[in-house]
Structure 1
């Protein structure tokens, strides 16, 4: 990930639950603006099993979005040893932050999407199913903003925390050993979908050996039952963690499809 772009801290003081003051304790965004004003923005959430953040799922994605005229932000969210709710708190704050400062970047505050990969896809889907309208009485004006994204884009995502389709490494890093069953249920995104859930673009590969494709299917089924607009693309073959998939021309078509979907929805 680029070291030349400034990291924008999401809190002026310590983040809630911060265990120190190093980079890994400080949730932050890198901004990738575009010249055209009034466009919607996308917050990019790299994957990494809630234990790290994969560089190829960060800046390259933001630069692709810039290439199609969409401003982007890459999120540095907290990972293990941090556990829930820290990552969710971070992505919710990122949405509020971008919405609050939309005028500064010439962004449409009513068009803020989140796009994430693998465990970052779980965090993206969590943002799309666990949100609030902001606290109007908050001292911090950023906390008065809604953290509901206007669209979410989970890419080969972890969706469920339940057997048999859970990615166990992600669950371990996020929830620890032997998590409470109510917590497992509440962070299984397919159980949180309602008719108010924002539209989604989902893609996966059918033979993913790391995160089973059933994760994407569970989410799509929940969206369908609740009559939430969504688009689902399941490619026949492709390893986990492809990112832009520049080495696989078939799967690489996801970027064109996603870009068209975002444009159609007003980005």
Structure 2
């Protein structure tokens, strides 16, 4: 893919602004998860089979140590080009980092190509937010403090969840479907965003949409075109050297957020390849550590604190 030079100086840019247990997730095992829950315990709508690995989307639940919980939660979408899931360095490791902040984490195993295409993945991420919001009391999560975090293609899925949501159906038979699928915040790390531009990631695009998708469908999932004033406040991190998913993806989303007057924070680091996770590297993908990119989790921690996600809720007043 030919990279185009961004029309701004790139360095570091800061804009202020009830469930059944199942087995390990594809792409890595949620070994330290407290439980793994099915998004649809009674059968997945529009499933093409019953394979627990390929047809059953799940959430691996990671809870902070007792006494440290801040009452907030984050649904994590690992990347993998919509064809696999990097469940270790973009899943479990991220969940454990969030737990260290006192935040409950829910790692999403969503459906993938070639068996599935859009809208299966959107249904999975929308349902994941609903499951956490509806069942929040079980995990000590405030239903009004749920963020959606995604890496690479998982960042596209997270940005889709943040731009293609609904308020729920009050008359739905399933009580989970009665609550909103809108995340309260978005966190996007080197996300695929701009499907209808030269900056898209070809593999993610094909895996999500299949061969020769209608132009309007492509545009509707080029999520910088879907930002509105209702899009959640967003934190973005990318690298200028990312050749697989150019930084223009984050820049275009950030510009759309600014136009819609949605609060955001954007960090573009000069050095670093694609797929860095927390910046500590991933041996299975031959990705080495990147000390500079290791700064983004700390920056995100500061942002989350400012968003009220790291403040322990006050104890109820005595009667």
TM over 0.5: yes
Q: Which residue of 2 aligns with 1:220?
A: 254
- The CA deviation string for residues 124-179 of structure 1, in whole angstroms up to 9 with x for no partner, is 00011110000001000000010000001111000011131110100100001111
Aligned to 1:263: 305
Identify the residue that residue 71 of structure 1 maps to in structure 2.
104
1:148 is aligned, of 182, 187, 198, to 182
Moved over 4 A (4+): none
Q: Which runs of 5+ in 1 are unaligned?
A: none
Query: Does residue 49 of structure 1 match 2:81?
Result: yes
Does residue 61 of structure 1 match 2:94?
yes
Three-state SS of the structure 1 residue aligned to 2:30 is coil
1:26 aligned to which of 56, 61, 68: 56
Residue 267 of structure 2 aligns to a residue whose secondary structure is: strand
Indicate conservation of the 8 Å contact 2:236/2:266, yes or no.
yes
The structure with more radius of gyration: 2
Structure 2: how far apart are the matches of 1:37 and 1:163?
41
Q: Residue 12 of structure 2 corresponds to which residue in structure 1? A: none
The structure carrying a bigger helix percent of its residues is: 1
Other structure's SS at 1:98 match: helix
Deviation string, structure 1 residues 224-264 (Cα, Å, up to 9, x no partner): 00100000000001000000112211110000001111121
Partner of 2:292 in structure 1?
250
Whole-angstrom CA distance in 1 between matches of 2:32 and 2:105: 16
TM-score by length of 2: 0.82
Instruction: Name the residue aligned to 2:221.
Output: 187
Q: How many residues align?
A: 267
Please give the TM-score of this superposition, normalised by the length of structure 1.
0.98
Check the 8 A contact 2:271/2:292 in 1, yes or no.
Answer: no
**As a proportion of its length, which structure holds more strand?**
1
